[in-house]
Structure 1
Amino acid sequence: MATPATERPLIVWAVSDGRAGIEAQVTGLAGAVAARRKAKVVIKRVGWKGWIGRLPWWLNLLPKRFLSPESEVAPPWPDLWIAAGRATLPLSLRIKGWSGGQAYVVQVQDPRLPPSKFDLVIPPKHDRLAGDNVFPIIGSPGRVNADRLDGDLARFKDVLGPLPRPRVAVVIGGKSKAHDLSPIRAAAMAREIELPVTQESGSVMVTFTRRTPPQAQAILASRLRHLPGVIWDGTGDNPYFAYLAAADYILVTEDSTNLATDAASTGKPVFILKMDGESLKLRRFHEDLERLGAARPMGDSFHSWRYEPLAETDRAAAEVLTRYDAWKAARPAL
């Protein structure tokens, strides 16, 4: 439902601790809300003074006092509070009271708290969280949309346009609670990538995340450098979305929900690269993607197929606005 021209825009805060993967989820969802409703999105990166940030979040009993000055969590309060990450929980639990009940609170990911403490919780389906105010989605909210892909592809067309097809985007994650990328696994992964690219006379577009271990990154870059293509060294503009847009195939490591969700949002064949370690939750997520026809485990060759691009961020944004409108209509007039 569009906002009438006479109404002011919704004020939407996208709140995280600033880590790239977490911020991408809240800014992606907030952006999708703004695409459906006139809105002003404000990005908030919260931090904590001194040792407070090292404590379990539930021991942070006076969060206003211990916020870092640059956090800027202060009135005027937003209409929609969209937050993710453990660092935001002391604030998400209190913003309703601080705002006099004026803020609608959306928590992305599983907060590991009763969902009733928030207006709406949007967890990944593979976390298996349920409740009346829970709206599970496959993967995580993200920033992939046609406009972003087209815009970034145009910016990098001089670099990516001449690359031979098939163009293979290779997105490498790294160390997490469940996974790692050892030098031995990195070397094996390089061989897995090199073989089918060489067989098809294609090219690679390689990018790493901040979590990629330096030694693994060095091994992969060294062993893939002889192939036609580009390997982003982390300097200059980030070509990540341009790689997704230019790719015929997308390879992502198994450690990240965000990376696989972004890839599946393009409608292009996605291959999952094995890492060291194991995660039952991520295995369930990859199985969901396989059932949708979006992703398959990496093998020794490429093959094409078609599927409907994942659009969970848009679906979540529509749900947020539907529930927000119902919540606002049920509130007594001020």
Structure 2
Amino acid sequence: MTRCWIVTEGLTGTENQCLGVAEALGVIPEIKRINLKQPWRTLSPWLGFEHAGIFTGDPITAPWPDLALCSGRKAIAAARYIRKASGGKTLVVQIQDPRVSPDQFDMVAVPAHDPTRGRNVIVTTGAPNRINKKTLDDAHGDFESLLSPLPAPRVAVMIGGTSKAYGMNDDVARTLAAQLKNLRDQGCGLMITASRRTGESQQAIIRDTLKDDPNVFFWDGTGPNPYLGFLAWADAVLVTADSVSMLSEAATAGKPVYIIPMAGGAPRIDALHQALIKHGAARMFEGKLDQWTYRPLNDAGIVALAIWNALKNPKKG
């Protein structure tokens, strides 16, 4: 059996990308959550300073695995150290753009909207994730009692928040709230979740517009997170423009995806929007719903296949 490590800083988003790839490979990974000692924590990963004494957290020591899936800025040092310390016996894969030369890894997986390219770079449409038929089927059953009473068509609404590139201000919230009210008035069931980045003011605007309606479920953060249930039960998914991960997951679920406009923007994430639109997965949200089909993304599977081929045909000496 292939021994696999997942090495990250412990951030949910980066770890989930690696877990999605591991699950697509059919391996059970050992999770390694690491940090760096000072001064290395604040130094640029371009400096190539990695050695055994700089890591804290879970041990990065022999015996070395067959495969290391690494993601995140601090994991760059661990990836390079594992590659060197294992004598090249570990296949080291960096998930997400490391913004250093891809030649420092055995393989790098990046979404198309990131610039890194090279002979060992696997390019995907969006971000690898854990969405697949089994996770959706399981979530459909787990949340049936909660979500089946809502009328169809059921619309999942995934709200992010202000980031470096995008703003979730009151004007954006008012526009979205009015559009959601219109969908509700047309008979749609709404399943809404906000993120930690969604401002209290913006949440209040949307909640107040849709309050006291049995056909609206706005998760309040208590009880099991219904996010996967929303994806499983949705007939359409609305996602704010800022979230690469939620857009990628919605497009992997194979449901019609609508991108909710926000203030601001960034060329990099705008490129993801255009890639999803070109793929047929997404359209910009203008207040109305349509139904269409497309081939769901399978970015974790694409990366997993490349890794499987590399493990099957290891580098010579």
Is the structural similarity TM-score above 0.5? yes
**Alpha-carbon distance between aligned partners in 1 of 2:114 and 2:277, rounded to the nearest angstrom:** 17
Which residue identity does 1:96 align to in structure 2? R
In the alignment, is the contact (CA less than 8 A) between 2:50 and 2:78 conserved in 1? no
Indicate the percent of aligned positions where both proteins have the same amino acid: 36
The one-letter amino acid paired with 2:33 is: R
Are the aligned partners of 2:65 and 2:90 in contact in 1 as well (CA < 8 Å)?
yes
Q: Identify the residue that residue 287 of structure 2 maps to in structure 1.
A: 300
The answer to whether residue 107 in structure 2 is matched with residue 107 in structure 1 is: no
Q: 2:103 aligns with which of 105, 108, 116?
A: 116
Aligned to 1:26: 18
Query: Which of residues 187, 190, 211 is equivalent to 1:204?
Result: 190
1:236 matched to 2:223? The reply is yes
**Distance across 2 between alignment mates of 1:52 and 1:182:** 37
1:55 and 1:226, CA in 2 relative to 1: closer, same or farther beyond 3 A?
farther
Q: Given that residues 102 and 118 in structure 2 are in contact (C-alpha distance below 8 angstroms), is that contact kept between their aligned partners in structure 1?
A: yes
Query: TM-score, normalization: structure 2?
Result: 0.93
Cα shift at 1:247: 0.4
Tell me if 1:143 matches 2:135. Answer: no
Q: How does 1:127-276 map to 2 (within 5 A)?
A: 127-199=114-186, 201-227=187-213, 228-276=215-263
Cα distance change of structure 1 residues 60 and 173 upon mapping to structure 2, 3 Å threshold:
farther
Q: Aligned to 2:192, what secondary structure does the other structure show?
A: strand
Query: Where does 1:31-110 land on structure 2 (aligned, <5 Å)?
Result: 31-34=23-26, 39-49=27-37, 52-58=40-46, 61-62=49-50, 64-68=52-56, 70-110=57-97
Distance of 1:96 and 1:125 partners within structure 2: 25
The Cα of 1:278 is off from its aligned counterpart by: 0.6
Q: SS at 1:210's partner residue?
A: coil
Larger displacement relative to structure 2 (256-265 or 126-135) = 126-135
Would you say the 8 A contact 1:58–1:90 is kept in 2?
no
For 1:94, give the aligned amino acid.
Answer: Y
Specify the code of the residue in structure 2 equivalent to 1:242.
G
Between the aligned partners of 1:58 and 1:116, the Cα distance in structure 2 is 13
Q: C-alpha distance in 1, partners of 2:42/2:103?
A: 26
For residues 213 and 309 of structure 1, the distance between their equivalents in structure 2, rounded to whole angstroms, comes to: 31
Contact 2:50-2:81 within 8 A present in 1 as well: no
Residues 9-40 of structure 1 show CA distances to partners (whole Å, capped at 9, x for unaligned) of 11111222122222211111111112xxxx33
Please state how far the C-alpha of 1:54 moved relative to its aligned partner.
4.1
Q: Secondary structure at the match of 2:300?
A: helix
Other-structure match for 1:331: 316
Distance 1:98 1:310, change over 3 A: same
Q: CA contact under 8 A between 1:45 and 1:71: conserved in structure 2?
A: yes
1:55 CA drift (Å)? 4.1
Shift of 1:251: 0.4
Cα shift at 1:59? 5.6
Decide which moves more: 178-187 or 152-161.
178-187
Secondary structure at the residue paired with 2:156? Answer: strand
| Most deviating of 224-233 and 83-92 | 224-233
Structure 2 unmatched ranges of 5 or more: none
- For 1:143, the aligned partner's letter is R
TM-score by length of 1: 0.89
Partners of 2:258 and 2:284 within 8 A in 1: yes
- Name 1:4's counterpart in structure 2: none
- Note the C-alpha offset of 1:204: 1.0
> What corresponds to 1:291 in structure 2?
278
CA root-mean-square deviation: 1.9
- Partner of residue 15 from structure 1, selected from 7, 24, 44: 7
CA deviation after TM superposition for structure 1 residue 284, in Å: 1.2
SS at match of 2:83: helix
Given residue 279 of structure 1, which amino acid in structure 2 is its aligned partner? A
The one-letter amino acid paired with 2:18 is V
Q: Any conservation in 1 of the 2:109–2:122 contact (CA below 8 Å)? A: yes
Q: Distance in 1 between matches of 2:207 and 2:38?
A: 38
Shift of 1:233: 1.7
1:29-70 CA distances to partner (integer Å, 9 max, x unpaired)?
A: 111112xxxx331122222346653443446835533422x3
In the alignment of these two chains, the number of paired residues is 316
> What is the DSSP-based 3-state SS (H/G/I as helix, E as strand, rest coil) of the residue aligned with 2:276?
helix
The unaligned stretches of length 5 or more in structure 1 are: 1-8
Question: Deviation of residue 105 (structure 1)?
Answer: 0.7
